[in-house]
Amino acid sequence: MNSTEIRPRGFQVLPPIIKNLLIINALVWLAQITVGKQLIPIENLFALHYIKSEYYKPWQFISYMFLHDPGNFFHILFNMFALWMFGSTLENLWGSKRFLLFYLICGVGAALVHMVALWYDLRQLEPLFTQGYIGPDVYYSNLNVPTMGASGAVMGIFAAFAFTFPNSQLLILPIPFPIKAKYAMMGLIGLDLIGGFSSQSTGVAHFAHVGGALVGIILLLIWNKKNRRTFY
């Protein structure tokens, strides 16, 4: 189905859940770059930390997706633009309650996959630390690294869009020509897998992205099992 054929009744350019998510993320980011730097350790409290970290709290599986890198405006800008671009269509199609549930489940699923990736990485470092090959500063800096951002949940939204409207034409820079959503999704997952398995750390939670996309597709398949027309 081509994106030009989508004409859901009551279509809103800025549906309520998308609007509120944009506002909440913007307000939290403003708090991070203002009072968060001086008064409140926001990242320590609400960013996602490994379960063995001194900063780990159970609520971080949800709260982390509302924080973004305070030193990188493009982190929140890109995530919020993608959320609006692909999420608006889905919220109009599904309704606000289902869209919010989907968004949160994708975010939590991304966090769980990322936690498994952290467990694997730290398991490699622990014997090096106990045997004295690396110092405590290296080990604990990896143990306490915070993870934040809506990227995992947004990847779930993009995966749902690509699954529901696979032949929609997208213009993704720097690619100079339109590409179908299904191919863009596969390309992004492929890049994240390459980045995730690379030995060089880039500060990007690649497996969280992959996890969000996979959880989104699995959830769509479950919801769509009995009635394909629910999503098409």
**How far is residue 98's CA from residue 79's CA, in Å, rounded to a whole number?**
20
What is the amino acid identity at position 188? L
Dihedral angle of Cα 33, 36, 37, 43, to the nearest 10 degrees = -100
Give 119-140 pLDDT, tens digit per residue: 988 888 777 777 777 777 777 7
pLDDT of res. 205: 87
What would be the CATH architecture of the domain defined by 11-230?
Up-down Bundle (1.20)
Give 157-182 pLDDT, tens digit per residue: 999 999 999 999 988 777 788 899 99
Residues 6+ apart with CB under 8 A from 103: 17, 21, 87, 153, 156, 157
The Cα angle at residue 149 between residues 146 and 154, in degrees rounded to 5: 145
Q: Is 90 helix (H, G, I), strand (E, B) or coil?
A: helix
Report whether pLDDT(187) > 90: yes
Report whether pLDDT(39) > 70: no
Task: Report the pLDDT averaged over residues 19-26.
Answer: 97
Average pLDDT, the chain: 87
Q: Please state the pTM of the whole predicted model.
A: 0.88
